[in-house]
A and B are shown apart, each in its own frame.
Chain A
């Protein structure tokens, strides 16, 4: 019996190795296979005494080969390990790491989204003579060892909504959250609430979640991972990967493949290597705090030693987070920190820190969380500001804060009080004049007769009715009034409206269309896309704007092959140094800070430089108490060539935006042309005020990706702004010719309490 078990285990290990390295494998696998086959063949013929010895020999060989293979693992091998059905999954962790748990929010298939698993778990431990039970909320993706209904751990929007719901529960109950990321990416469907919108909501809420969060990464694919991974400590399993996109996806983009063509494995391998997706890379870049060492070739459910390590690491991480913000800690903090430096005998199990937090500690927690993410990814962009500029950018915020404090905090309170008083008094005065003065005058006029002859009255009225009203009172036609005109307005050609078949629009003459009509078909209202300069000059008053941080440049942090040339090309073409342009401007007298993503620069993708500029702009708006407008001329998502340096901008910028909104600002997002993926699913999609310009597209993934991942045809108009409007993602659709009017209206009517003009 024992022999049978050992044989089965042996066969499983062999099959696993074969699975991971593929059938054609390398030399050592071939040798191993041959030896194993030989062993199996000869097994029945071994004398009873030798069986044990032979078994040990072949197991030792297997151990040795696994260790050897482990040393040679390529990033792509790690991806295959992580995706293997025998890989540990969340259920295994719940069974082995926690002492007790109950699954909530569904069971197995009977679940709003079986790919997201939520459990209340208990960690029990002995402290001195007492046993303490510490509750935590566990949230994570469940792959279920390849069960079909788990959808491979790819969470649907409502699964993420469920996760968010229980995060709020944990916040109410004041218990820490442990999240486990086992997802290849979010499931890209746009049914309510829509993948992008839900991830954005998750990020927005998590950025101010007032309980400690510890995230463990095994498989972290872009937005799907971020939806539960904005955490105070991020731990990664040593064989896991954390990436902006799956290596196959990157290869498909790199090789410009369409319609589900497969990229060849060499290209996939190269992309995986260049994207810096492994645990070691992520620790080196500072996006992950610690790596948990797994057994050779990855942890499987029977590696019980590994679960012990994991439990220790998680306890340690939670303790660290809590004690870093707690006021009552003294020696325990010292003990905790000393252990991180040298391998002391002190077990984290024996250090007991209560995991609930006081209000003050919660505030400190949020501050620390913001600072943690704020400090990330500074190596990933090129800061070409001069020394003086840097000093100035360090000092200026202080001045703004001081100025805001004095003029809006101190003086404003006074001014406001005076104004309120004046309003009250004048209302009183009006009432008195109505009740007393007017009847008196009426009575007087009865005695003296009508005070003016009627003809005189008529003449005055006539004067008022027939004179020319002042030009500043209203606009009259003044021809080609657009300040910036598209180059296309100089071509003598006719343009057909794409709705011509359904709406019968006549063909348009390019000079009319692109100058006077502002790129809008006068018949059906279709909006042709316009250059970003058009908006800058005609909407945002760019001629009088003050651009800042223009010298923060996009670089190539991962030394991605051939990307330097592409960046250089984009710079030459646009004359800008990153796809994010930030400036301060005045819209009809209201000072605002604008950050815009422009499509001509690498498709408006977001990398480290763009994220940094965005955050700096948000901070500037916060310090100056200005409204903050994000104008998205178009974005294709996160810049994949920057790998995790790009993905990390999702939580980073969301944190900055959240801080700005919580400080009482007005954060407004305007989408134009095509806006997809990461940015929409994070710092843009989380705004409470989002507007789209007509004929624009908004979504999580492009149609090609959707049909490839879901295997279903994409419905027509799936990404149209009107769809986003009907599922509540955007809150209004604007006509291009009226953006300025609408913008002014919005600035006056919506948004936070702390704007300078309120």
Chain B
């Protein structure tokens, strides 16, 4: 049977489990990988249950491409699903998958799209060329001091003209990442010295003197648009927006809500419907223009004045895909699964519906249950889970790699994520109430050395009240 594929899952935990289930539903085989630390993880258990012992392979590291390819050859896999994290946004990996002597299918966008949209500066340039709004400032690395100064002067002038008090300019190393080499300037007279400092820092650390200069934006909301595109890049639909503004100190998302704003229940200082409409429209147009060909997320920031700016594009399935699915209905289908859609489209199937078939209803909240201590700067906590129980409900979906019975050792090598909780309500009020009810009924006990076991349940509960308020 030619269209029965064997998909190698180059990932772990909750997403691996969801990919396996989707494979089963679509009638494909799968290969599951695990490292010695993940021996007791739920995804290995599920793989044994669904695919038997021959579908499980042990490797030393999820990031060793050579080992993954040797397993793929051994198991005769025909496609690779990278999940999220690890190799999901590595265009070299994607390119290698399709360019090997024994090519496979990479379930995700084409490698050149990952490459072009994976680079923030390039994304900004593409966006500007299409008239998509981006953060005011430079759209390429600046090497020349005079040029940098003229941009900064313009920025200060611009903010003054807009009556933004305490306007600031961000100077950041274009080759940097993860917050390294970023400085703020408030006083135009200090700009030159800060610019030189950042440039020297960049030269020393990244061996590239290029510097970006942008407006510093305060108190913004973080919104996303879920795009699903057909293989070949011809047809595109969106699955609504999400709001991911509740984050830990390390800018890790903790609560996500779909859709992005709820103007029916919460008052906003700007026209929220217009903003949502604008960002979906721009995202779709850009996907159309670059020929995007799988699932992806357009990330936006919205200022308190209601101006959206495109920040970056995530060329992969995201953790929070479940809430977009929960508020969407496609045609007669009761249940949408974006992971399943991704695999289906990645293997070359057609979309089969268009935007008018996608309908939205209700509000969905996702909690990320993490073994961490919010009061200690979200320090991760490692130890054992002793009890993990909750009340099942029709409006609730749990994705977890913690085995249902018995203890679970949180691996120290990976993020201490425990579960994704997806709650659906008809409106924001109901969704919040259900969320609080769920968190109250949750039984989570564990033991850990040092500061003892802790989780972010209290943090999630406290932040549920102000959801979607700007």
Taking Cβ atoms with an 8 Å cutoff, the residues of A that contact B are 454-455, 457-459, 461-462, 464-469, 473-477, 479, 492, 494, 506-507, 509, 511-512, 516, 735, 738
Binds A, one of B134-142, B190-198, B281-289: B134-142
Please indicate the chain B residues that have their CB under 8 angstroms from the CB of A475 in the complex: 140
Report the count of interface residues on B (CB-CB < 8 A): 37
Q: Which 4 A-B pairs have the closest CB atoms?
A: A458-B161, A465-B136, A474-B140, A468-B128
Please indicate the chain A residues that have their CB under 8 angstroms from the CB of B129 in the complex: 468
> Can you show 6 pairs from A to B with CB atoms below 8 A apart?
A457-B161, A458-B160, A461-B155, A462-B158, A509-B92, A512-B92
Binds A, one of B41-49, B115-123, B386-394, B421-429: B115-123
Give, as a whole number of angstroms, the nearest-CB distance from B276 to chain A: 21
Partner of B137, one of A455, A458, A465, A735: A465
B136 and A462 contacting across the interface, CB-CB below 8 Å: yes
**Count of chain A to chain B residue pairs whose CB atoms are closer than 8 Å in the complex:** 76
CB interface residues, B 438-463, toward A, < 8 Å: none
Please indicate the chain B residues that have their CB under 8 angstroms from the CB of A511 in the complex: 96, 99
Please indicate the chain B residues that have their CB under 8 angstroms from the CB of A469 in the complex: 125, 138-140
| Docked complex Cα distance between A128 and B393 (Å) | 129
Please indicate the chain B residues that have their CB under 8 angstroms from the CB of A455 in the complex: 161
A476 and B157 contacting across the interface, CB-CB below 8 Å: no
Given contacts A458-B157, A458-B158, contact A476 B140 (CB under 8 A): yes
Give, as a whole number of angstroms, the nearest-CB distance from B367 to chain A: 35
**At the interface, yes or no: B151 with Cβ under 8 Å from chain A?**
yes
**At the interface, yes or no: B66 with Cβ under 8 Å from chain A?**
yes
| Docked complex Cα distance between A745 and B171 (Å) | 25
A494 and B66 contacting across the interface, CB-CB below 8 Å: yes
**At the interface, yes or no: B64 with Cβ under 8 Å from chain A?**
yes
**At the interface, yes or no: B101 with Cβ under 8 Å from chain A?**
yes
CB interface residues, B 136-177, toward A, < 8 Å: 136-141, 151, 154-155, 157-158, 160-162
Please indicate the chain A residues that have their CB under 8 angstroms from the CB of B136 in the complex: 462, 465-466
Q: Mark B37-64, 1 if CB is under 8 A from A, else 0.
A: 0000000000000000000000000011
| B210 nearest CB neighbor, chain A only | A474
A476 and B128 contacting across the interface, CB-CB below 8 Å: no
| Docked complex Cα distance between A494 and B137 (Å) | 41
CB interface residues, B 65-111, toward A, < 8 Å: 65-66, 92, 95-96, 99-101
| Docked complex Cα distance between A455 and B163 (Å) | 10
| Docked complex Cα distance between A467 and B125 (Å) | 9
Please indicate the chain B residues that have their CB under 8 angstroms from the CB of A473 in the complex: 140
Partner of B96, one of A468, A506, A509, A735: A509
**At the interface, yes or no: B353 with Cβ under 8 Å from chain A?**
no
**At the interface, yes or no: B112 with Cβ under 8 Å from chain A?**
yes
A509 and B65 contacting across the interface, CB-CB below 8 Å: yes
| B127 nearest CB neighbor, chain A only | A468
B125 and A476 contacting across the interface, CB-CB below 8 Å: yes
Please indicate the chain A residues that have their CB under 8 angstroms from the CB of B362 in the complex: none
Please name 8 further chain A to chain B contacts, defined as beta carbons within 8 Å, in addition to the given A462-B136, A476-B125, A507-B66, sorted by A numbering: A454-B160, A457-B161, A458-B161, A469-B138, A476-B121, A492-B101, A506-B64, A735-B207
Partner of B128, one of A458, A466, A738: A466
| Docked complex Cα distance between A461 and B96 (Å) | 44
Give, as a whole number of angstroms, the nearest-CB distance from A576 to chain B: 32
A479 and B128 contacting across the interface, CB-CB below 8 Å: no
| Docked complex Cα distance between A512 and B63 (Å) | 16
Given contacts A476-B122, A479-B112, A511-B99, contact A461 B92 (CB under 8 A): no
A465 and B96 contacting across the interface, CB-CB below 8 Å: no
B140 and A465 contacting across the interface, CB-CB below 8 Å: no
Please indicate the chain B residues that have their CB under 8 angstroms from the CB of A457 in the complex: 157, 161
Please indicate the chain B residues that have their CB under 8 angstroms from the CB of A476 in the complex: 121-122, 125, 140
Given contacts A492-B100, A509-B96, contact A454 B161 (CB under 8 A): yes
Give, as a whole number of angstroms, the nearest-CB distance from A263 to chain B: 45
A461 and B161 contacting across the interface, CB-CB below 8 Å: yes
| A511 nearest CB neighbor, chain B only | B99
Please indicate the chain B residues that have their CB under 8 angstroms from the CB of A458 in the complex: 157-158, 160-162
Partner of A468, one of B65, B125, B154, B160: B125
Please indicate the chain B residues that have their CB under 8 angstroms from the CB of A509 in the complex: 65-66, 92, 96
Given contacts A466-B133, A492-B100, A511-B96, contact A474 B141 (CB under 8 A): yes
Please indicate the chain B residues that have their CB under 8 angstroms from the CB of A474 in the complex: 140-141
Q: Of B66, B95, B133, which is in contact with the most chain A CB atoms at under 10 Å from its CB?
A: B66
Please indicate the chain A residues that have their CB under 8 angstroms from the CB of B137 in the complex: 465
| Docked complex Cα distance between A477 and B129 (Å) | 15
Give, as a whole number of angstroms, the nearest-CB distance from A381 to chain B: 43
| B147 nearest CB neighbor, chain A only | A473
A468 and B63 contacting across the interface, CB-CB below 8 Å: no
| Docked complex Cα distance between A476 and B117 (Å) | 12
Give, as a whole number of angstroms, the nearest-CB distance from A521 to chain B: 14
Please indicate the chain A residues that have their CB under 8 angstroms from the CB of B128 in the complex: 466-468
Give, as a whole number of angstroms, the nearest-CB distance from B289 to chain A: 13
| Docked complex Cα distance between A607 and B116 (Å) | 50
Give, as a whole number of angstroms, the nearest-CB distance from A467 to chain B: 7
| B119 nearest CB neighbor, chain A only | A477
Please indicate the chain A residues that have their CB under 8 angstroms from the CB of B151 in the complex: 464-465
Give, as a whole number of angstroms, the nearest-CB distance from A264 to chain B: 48
Please indicate the chain A residues that have their CB under 8 angstroms from the CB of B116 in the complex: 477
Please indicate the chain B residues that have their CB under 8 angstroms from the CB of A516 in the complex: 92
| Docked complex Cα distance between A278 and B50 (Å) | 86
| Docked complex Cα distance between A469 and B112 (Å) | 23
Give, as a whole number of angstroms, the nearest-CB distance from A388 to chain B: 48
Give, as a whole number of angstroms, the nearest-CB distance from A432 to chain B: 23
Give, as a whole number of angstroms, the nearest-CB distance from B23 to chain A: 27
| Docked complex Cα distance between A492 and B72 (Å) | 15
Given contacts A468-B128, A735-B207, contact A461 B157 (CB under 8 A): yes
A477 and B154 contacting across the interface, CB-CB below 8 Å: no
A468 and B139 contacting across the interface, CB-CB below 8 Å: yes
| A456 nearest CB neighbor, chain B only | B161
| Docked complex Cα distance between A454 and B161 (Å) | 6
Give, as a whole number of angstroms, the nearest-CB distance from A514 to chain B: 13
Give, as a whole number of angstroms, the nearest-CB distance from B258 to chain A: 29
Please indicate the chain A residues that have their CB under 8 angstroms from the CB of B119 in the complex: 477
Please indicate the chain B residues that have their CB under 8 angstroms from the CB of A454 in the complex: 160-161
CB interface residues, B 252-305, toward A, < 8 Å: none
| Docked complex Cα distance between A457 and B122 (Å) | 28
| A454 nearest CB neighbor, chain B only | B161
| Docked complex Cα distance between A579 and B267 (Å) | 78
Q: Mark B193-228, 1 if CB is under 8 A from A, else 0.
A: 000000000000001000000010000000000000
Please indicate the chain A residues that have their CB under 8 angstroms from the CB of B161 in the complex: 454-455, 457-459, 461
Give, as a whole number of angstroms, the nearest-CB distance from B268 to chain A: 23
| B161 nearest CB neighbor, chain A only | A458
Give, as a whole number of angstroms, the nearest-CB distance from B43 to chain A: 24
Please indicate the chain A residues that have their CB under 8 angstroms from the CB of B139 in the complex: 468-469
| Docked complex Cα distance between A468 and B122 (Å) | 11
B155 and A465 contacting across the interface, CB-CB below 8 Å: yes
| B69 nearest CB neighbor, chain A only | A494
| Docked complex Cα distance between A476 and B99 (Å) | 24
| Docked complex Cα distance between A697 and B88 (Å) | 39
Give, as a whole number of angstroms, the nearest-CB distance from B118 to chain A: 9
B158 and A477 contacting across the interface, CB-CB below 8 Å: no
| B137 nearest CB neighbor, chain A only | A465
A464 and B154 contacting across the interface, CB-CB below 8 Å: yes
Give, as a whole number of angstroms, the nearest-CB distance from B142 to chain A: 8
Given contacts A466-B128, A735-B207, contact A512 B96 (CB under 8 A): yes
Give, as a whole number of angstroms, the nearest-CB distance from A486 to chain B: 16
Give, as a whole number of angstroms, the nearest-CB distance from B432 to chain A: 37
| A491 nearest CB neighbor, chain B only | B101
Please indicate the chain A residues that have their CB under 8 angstroms from the CB of B125 in the complex: 468-469, 476
| Docked complex Cα distance between A658 and B119 (Å) | 49
Please indicate the chain B residues that have their CB under 8 angstroms from the CB of A459 in the complex: 161
Give, as a whole number of angstroms, the nearest-CB distance from B385 to chain A: 32
Please indicate the chain B residues that have their CB under 8 angstroms from the CB of A467 in the complex: 128
Partner of A477, one of B95, B100, B122, B133: B122
| A471 nearest CB neighbor, chain B only | B125
